[in-house]
Amino acid sequence: MDISVIIPAFNERESLPELSAWIARVMQEHGYSYEIIFVDDGSIDGTWQTVQELAIANPCIHGICFRRNYGKSAALYCGFERAQGEVVFTMDADLQDSPDEIPEMYKMIKDGGFDLVSGWKQNRKDNALTKNLPSKLYNATARCITGLKLHDMNCGLKAYRQEVVKSIEVYGEMHRYIPYLAKNAGYTRITEKPVHHEKRKYGKSKFGMSRFVNGFLDLQTLWFLTRFGKDPMHFFGYSGLLMFFVGFVMTVWIIVAKLVHQAQGLKFRAVTDQPLFYLALLAIVLGVMLFLAGFIGEMVARSNAERNRYNIKDEL
C-alpha cells in the first residue's frame, strides 16, 4: 500500500464526508493505493456513526473509536500502530489541512529520501492575536531547544516514512513534538514544506491558549528525558555536588571568619545569628537531596526493561 492517512477527530462529524471525498479524489487522480484511518477521540456529536457510514461506502476507510476523549497523541499512537502504507500522513479533521498537498509530500519522502516532511502554514487563517503570535513564539522556542529548523512544528499535516512511525512512541501531549521524537530515534532527514491553510469551515477549535503553556512544559520534559533519561545522575549528581560544595564553602567561611574575629578581640556575631549560615545549610541539604534523587533515578533507569533497546538501521 502506498499511503495511509491518519485523521484524529473529536466532534468533527460535519467535516468528515467532505474530507474523505477530497482525499479519495486526490488518491484516484494520482493512482495511489491508500487507506484512511479515522480515530474518533471520544466524540459525542455522532462522529463515529458518520465514520461507519463512510466505511460502508468506501472500503479504503477504516476507523478506531475511543470510549472517551484521550487526546490527539493517543489517537495518533493507535493510528500509527494500524497504518500499513509505505508513507504515512497525518492531518486534522477540520478541513484546514489540504489533501492536495499529499502528492508533493509523498514525492519528497519516496524520491527525496526524507524521513519526515512537516507542513508549514505560512499564511495562517487563524486569529492573529490568539493563534498566530503565540504560535510564532512557541515555534521559536522549540527551534532553540530541539535544534530543528522548523517554522511550524505543530502543524497537523505531516508525512512520514513508515518505519519512522513504527519506531517512536507518542504519549501524553507529545504529538506537538513528533519531529523531535523522530530525530531522537535517529531519523534526521527532516524537512518542511509550505502548505495551504484553509479557514475552519465547521465547528470551533478544540484547543485554547493553555496549549501553549502545556506545550512549553512538555517540551522541557521531552528535552530533559532525551538528555538525561538514561543517566539522571549526570544532572542531579552534578547539581547536587555543586549545591553541596557552595553550601559547605559558605559554612566554613562563616565559621572561620567568626573564629578569626574572636581571636583578634574584634566584634563578631554568633554563627547561628547569621542568616547566611542558614542559607548555607539549606544549600547543603538541597545538594544531598539532589544527589540522592540522581541515585534513585539511576536505579530506576537500570531496572527499565527497555534500557538496552536500540534502533538498528541495518545488519549484515
Q: Which pLDDT value is given to residue 262? A: 82
pTM: 0.74
For 241-286, the three-class secondary structure string (H helix, E strand, C coil) is: HHHHHHHHHHHHHHHHHHHHHHHCCCCCCCHHHCHHHHHHHHHHHH
Which domain-ending residue is among 173, 206, 227?
227
CA dist 119 and 171 (Å) reads 21
Q: Which whole number is the average pLDDT over 87-101? A: 93
Beta strands at 87-90 and 3-9: parallel, antiparallel or unpaired: parallel
CA dist 297 and 231 (Å) reads 8
Nearest to 229 by CA among 309, 315, 137, 123: 309
pLDDT digits (tens, 9 = 90+) for 183-212: 988 899 999 999 988 777 776 665 555 666
Same structural domain for residues 294 and 173?
no
86 within a domain of the structure (yes/no) = yes
Same structural domain for residues 197 and 271?
no
Between 221 and 184, where is the model more confident? 184
Three-state DSSP state, 306: coil
pLDDT digits (tens, 9 = 90+) for 61-77: 999 999 999 989 899 99
Beta strands at 190-194 and 116-120: parallel, antiparallel or unpaired: parallel
pLDDT digits (tens, 9 = 90+) for 270-297: 888 888 889 999 999 999 998 888 888 7
310 within a domain of the structure (yes/no) = no
88 within a domain of the structure (yes/no) = yes
Which domain-ending residue is among 200, 227, 254?
227
**Whether pLDDT at 7 is above 90:** yes
Q: CATH number for the domain including 214? A: 3.90.550.10
Same structural domain for residues 272 and 149?
no
Greatest mean pLDDT range, 79-93, 118-132, 149-163? 79-93
Same structural domain for residues 135 and 35?
yes
Nearest to 131 by CA among 200, 190, 41: 200
Same structural domain for residues 77 and 144?
yes
Output the nine-digit C-alpha cell for 216.
Answer: 512549553
pLDDT digits (tens, 9 = 90+) for 294-315: 888 777 766 765 555 555 555 6
Q: Which pLDDT value is given to residue 312? A: 59
Same structural domain for residues 237 and 218?
no
Which 8-state DSSP code applies to residue 132? I
**Whether pLDDT at 130 is above 90:** no
312 within a domain of the structure (yes/no) = no
Between 129 and 173, where is the model more confident? 173
Q: Which pLDDT value is given to residue 19? A: 95
**Whether pLDDT at 134 is above 90:** no
Q: Which pLDDT value is given to residue 201? A: 72
CA dist 5 and 37 (Å) reads 6
Same structural domain for residues 213 and 245?
no
Same structural domain for residues 244 and 155?
no
Backbone angles phi, psi at 9, to 5 degrees: -140, 130
Q: Which residues contact 253 (CB under 8 A, 6 or more apart)?
A: none
138 neighbors 104 (Cβ within 8 angstroms)? no
Report the DSSP beta bridge partners of residue 164: none
Percent of the chain whose predicted confidence (pLDDT) is above 90? 47
Same structural domain for residues 58 and 124?
yes
Render the burial of 226-264: b for 16+ CB within 10 Å, e for the rest: bebeeebbebbbebbeebbebbeebbeebeeebeeeeee
Same structural domain for residues 266 and 205?
no
For the chain, what is the domain count? 2
Same structural domain for residues 144 and 250?
no
313 within a domain of the structure (yes/no) = no
Q: Which whole number is the average pLDDT over 102-124? A: 92
Half-sphere exposure of 160 (CA within 13 A, CB side): 29
pLDDT mean across residues, the chain: 85
Which domain-ending residue is among 195, 227, 259?
227
147 within a domain of the structure (yes/no) = yes
**Whether pLDDT at 123 is above 90:** no
198 neighbors 96 (Cβ within 8 angstroms)? yes
314 within a domain of the structure (yes/no) = no
Same structural domain for residues 20 and 95?
yes
Q: Which whole number is the average pLDDT over 32-45? A: 94
pLDDT digits (tens, 9 = 90+) for 252-270: 998 888 888 888 878 878 8
**Whether pLDDT at 126 is above 70:** no
125 within a domain of the structure (yes/no) = yes
Q: Residue 252 belongs to what domain range?
A: 233-302
